[in-house]
Amino acid sequence: MYDLLGRELATLLNSEIEAGEHVVNWDASNRESGVYVYRIVTENHVETRKMLLAK
């Protein structure tokens, strides 16, 4: 997880997992409402998306 300035806030998962659907929870209780960025990296693909945290 990153803020919009590119600072890394948390690493939610850093290991190889089987293909399929997975759920990862982020405890954002100490974070402000706003836009955050997450990145998913696989062997041959990188995807970056925005997420809105609304409290």
CB atoms < 10 A from the CB of 39, how many? 11
What digits encode the pLDDT tens for the residues 8-49?
Answer: 999 999 998 888 999 999 999 999 999 999 999 988 999 999
Query: In this predicted structure, what is the pLDDT of residue 19?
Result: 87
Query: In this predicted structure, what is the pLDDT of residue 1?
Result: 95
| Residue 2 to residue 5: CA distance in whole angstroms | 8
| Residue 34 to residue 22: CA distance in whole angstroms | 24
Q: Counting Cβ atoms within 10 Å, is residue 9 exposed (0-12), middle (13-18) or buried (19+)?
A: middle
Per-residue tokens: 47: 């995807």
Query: In this predicted structure, what is the pLDDT of residue 43?
Result: 86
